[in-house]
A and B are shown apart, each in its own frame.
Chain A
Amino acid sequence: MSMSILVVDNHPVMLKFMTDLLRKEGHHVMTARDGLAALDILKGFTPGVLFVDLIMPHVNGERLCRIIRKNPRLKDAFVVILSAIAADEEIDFLRFGANACIAKAPFDQMRQHVLAVLKQAGAGPTPSGGSRTLGTETMQPRQITRELLTVKRHFEIVLESMKEGVLEITPDARIVYANRMALSIIGRPEELLVASSLVDLFGDTERTRMEKLVHGEEEDRDAFGKPLEFVMDGKPVSVKLIPLENSARGSIVILEDLTERKRMEAQLIRAEKMEAIGTLAGGIAHDFNNILTAIFGNLSLAQADVSPGSPVAERLEEVERASWKAKDLSRQLLPFSRGGTPIKKRVSVPSLLQHVPLDWDGDRKWQTRLFLSDDLWDVEVDPFQIQQAITHLVTNAFEAMPEGGTVRINAANFFARTENGAHMRKGTYVKISVADDGVGIPDANLARVFDPYFTTKKTGKGLGLAMVYTIMERHQGGVTLESRPNRGTVFHLYLPAVGELNNGDGGKPEIQSRQGIRVLLMDDEELIRGIAAQMIQHLGYSVELAREGGEALTLYEKASEEGRPFHVVILDLTVPAGMGGKEAMEKLLHMDPEARVIVSSGYSNDPIMSDYASWGFKGLLEKPYQMSDLEKELERVRQQ
């Protein structure tokens, strides 16, 4: 029976012998000098039998065999391995899909085995000739070959274990070898990748660059051996081309997937930008808050002095409204400030969502709808910061729907079973989702929307989503988004949850007679000392003032010794030219462990502000504060 046969071997003597032998037996014979040439022939030729040399350049026999077996057209072909190392190593040819194996030997011996396997091949569909290599009976194993095979296997293990992708390409850029990582990075199976062109893996623009590189036309003469960045199927990759010593043989290509590295770099750049904004914002907010404290203080006193409803009272109300806006602006900067630690409270989610805008500047074309689960856990958050984040997302959603629409806000309990992102831990959260049906975010921008200064709006500053990200990061929560162009966007905020809400916050402190209640105020700003003293006195307390911690300690000690101790002390945290609140507090507690001390600062970057109790403080006054804030906190601390 005549069969179509392909013989693949890199030695012309072997090809000549096999051709003569097989043709004499009446078969149609094609030959190829290496695996790559064989794959080309197989595109248009379907042999019933293949004789394949095991070790040959440009796709070895084992690899060729595996590729053949994955081709449905060749799955029934009878594949015979020709091996020169059969005496030295047992060839597990069945493992890579061959049907028989013949040891390379003097031709008269090989001839008998070739004719024998042809009989087997003609006997039926894919019969196996057993697992024994034919022709090894008279051979003696060679020690040197065994050692070399061990070295070869070792190198194969090294190559397959590398975290870089390794390709071998011919001088015309055809891929003849790909290690496991290369297959993974490129995302194609071996049978589709081997024999294809490296250049074809790249899109139009990158293709030209790659062609220049592999054909030595790269203008940058240092390009060889240097990692160059390319984009492959939308994925950033590093490509290093190393010509083999004998350049006629081709090159080695080292591939590296840069996706994770790029993500880390973007995160680092984002962090650096945040750091820069934080330094600036923190500094501005600190000074700004000191000024606002003076404005609020004077305002409170002035309001107390004028008749309600008078023209001056109305003017003062306007001033108060403007001052509140200024205070909000200052607080908006605080999440960016270095540390920017949220001042957390336990609150219910409905209370957080109370101030969400229900429409956009009074226009009912844009509306908000809330969908809240009944059994929502409470959350431990800085209410102002979280409201700021949600308000920003809602406003963003309105802007994404220029023709109007409804923003849907969902809140539901969420249990994170695994680590999720850099900041979220396994645990309980309340997930608040803000969804719109707007224009969506293009894929290319998805990774950048949280970057500071990244904006697609004409008048945008690119700080809004960066602020949201920072706020959630500092809450050990998370923010994610889903978006489809022209279908809409959903942002999900994950707020750390706590148990049931304790609704009682003590209510308004009971006002008792303040006659004889003595307050010690330490602040380095003369402006603050002046206005705070006036407010404290206005509230009925008596007050003494100190410019820094040392002075405050002296006054406190002296007052105690004289039997007229201070009932409450207010310490400014940051005093550049003297002892600050932290050090003063340590010494004060040493002097009087029962001291009732309130910490005050306009600079919420200090961890003391978010966890004042663990530093021994009994209360907190964030600058700027109004007289009502001051009264409430003084009373609360005094009555503890």
Chain B
Amino acid sequence: MNREDMENRLGLSPRELLELWEIFLEASHADVAGIQAGLDDNDPGRVAEAAHSIKGSAINLEFVKVAEQAEGIEREAKKGNLAGVREQTRLLRESIKEVASMIYRYSGLCQRQERSCPGEEFRGVESR
């Protein structure tokens, strides 16, 4: 992934893109936990819903491999077929780890460049 290219295309500062990625990671971890809980409870609906969430944000952020894996899980779950989903989930978790490693690397880079980063701060969403 070309970080600078993405910053330019999205019109985001490095810090904004980092925050977006971090939110993706946080939400994806929660969604993977949701998939796992759905598998434990044999609840295909919950598995599909969590996989759908990961897929959508991965497409938005162009994490193509994660998006494809999540879509595969969603498809099987919506068919009510959870047989192979544990293995698919393991692979998805690996892919998200790879994304996380990339983000942490970038994060470290950004932290080292902190003083030169624009002083923009994300104040959090005003949601209820």
Q: Which B8-38 residues sit within 8 Å CB-CB of chain A?
A: 9-12, 16, 19-20, 23-24, 26-27
Whether a CB of chain A sits under 8 angstroms from the CB of B88 is no
Q: A110 with B60: in contact, given A13-B27, A31-B125 (CB under 8 Å)?
A: yes
| Given A14-B60, A33-B127, A84-B56: A107 in contact with B23 (beta carbons within 8 A) | no
A512 to B19, CA, bound (A): 121
A116 → chain B, closest Cβ, in Å?
Answer: 14
Residue B57 CB within 8 A of the other chain: yes
Quick one: closest A residue to B120, CB to CB? A20
Smallest Cβ-Cβ distance to A40: which chain B residue:
B128
- In the complex, chain A residues whose CB is within 8 Å of the CB of B10: 17, 21, 107-108, 111
Interface residues of B, count at CB 8 A: 29
Are B60 and A105 closer than 8 Å at their CB atoms?
yes
Task: Tell me whether A13 and B59 are in contact (CB under 8 A).
Answer: no
Q: How far is the CA of A31 from the CA of B24 in the complex (A)?
A: 17
Residues of A within 8 A of B19 (CB): 16
Instruction: Say yes or no: is A41 at the interface (Cβ < 8 Å to chain B).
Output: yes
Known: A31-B126, A111-B11. A104 touches B23 (CB 8 A): no
A417 within 8 A of B: no
Name the residue of chain A whose CB is nearest to the CB of B53: A11
B67 nearest in chain A by CB position: A106
Known contacts A11-B57, A21-B11, A106-B60; is-contact A16 B43 (Cβ 8 Å): no
A181 to chain B: closest CB distance in Å? 25
Chain B residues whose C-beta falls within 8 Å of the C-beta of A40 in the assembled complex: 128
In the assembly, what is the distance between CA of A269 and CA of B56, in Å? Answer: 60
Pick the most buried of A24, A37, A245, A246: most chain B CB atoms within 10 A of its CB: A246
Chain A residues closer than 8 Å to B27, beta-carbon distance: 11-13
Residues of A within 8 A of B122 (CB): 16, 20
Min distance, Cβ B87 to any Cβ of chain A, angstroms: 20
- Taking the closest CB of chain A, its distance from the CB of B21, in whole angstroms, is 9
Minimum C-beta distance from B128 to chain A (A): 4
* Interchain nearest-CB distance for A177 vs B (Å): 16
Interface membership of A412, Cβ < 8 A? no
Contacts of B90 in A (CB 8 A): none
B41 cross-chain contacts in A, Cβ below 8 A:
245
Chain A: number of interface residues, binned into ranges: 20 to 34
B75 within 8 A of A: yes
Q: CB-CB < 8 A to B6: which residues of A?
A: 108
Interface string of A421-444 (1 = CB under 8 A from B): 000000000000000000000000
The reply on A511 being an interface residue by CB < 8 A is no
Within the complex, what minimum Cβ distance (angstroms) separates B102 from chain A?
Answer: 16
Question: In this complex, which of A10, A31, A33, A108 has the most chain B Cβ atoms within 10 angstroms of its Cβ?
Answer: A108
- Closest B residue to A249 by CB, please name it: B46
Instruction: Assess whether A148 is interfacial by the CB under 8 Å rule.
Output: yes
State in angstroms the CA–CA spacing of A292 and B6 once bound together: 109
| B59 contact set on A, CB distance < 8 A | 104-106
Q: Say whether B62 faces chain A, with CB atoms less than 8 Å apart.
A: yes
User: Cβ of B110 < 8 Å from any Cβ of A?
Assistant: no
Complex interface: chain B residues within 8 A of A19 (CB): 125
* Nearest-Cβ distance from residue B29 to partner chain A, whole angstroms: 12
**In contact, A106 and B127 (Cβ under 8 angstroms):** no
CA distance A104 to B52 in the complex (A): 13
Q: Shortest beta-carbon distance, B115 to chain A, in Å?
A: 22
Contact yes or no, B20 A11, CB < 8 A: no
New contact pairs (15) apart from A13-B24, A14-B56, CB-CB < 8 Å: A11-B56, A13-B27, A13-B57, A13-B61, A14-B60, A16-B19, A17-B10, A17-B60, A31-B126, A37-B128, A104-B56, A106-B59, A108-B6, A148-B78, A245-B43
Instruction: Rank and list the top 3 A-B pairs by shortest CB-CB distance, nearest first.
Output: A108-B9, A13-B57, A37-B128
A-B contact pairs, 25 of them (CB 8 A): A10-B53, A11-B27, A11-B53, A11-B56, A13-B20, A13-B23, A13-B61, A15-B125, A15-B127, A16-B122, A16-B125, A17-B60, A21-B10, A30-B126, A31-B125, A31-B127, A32-B128, A33-B128, A37-B128, A104-B60, A107-B62, A108-B6, A111-B11, A144-B78, A245-B43
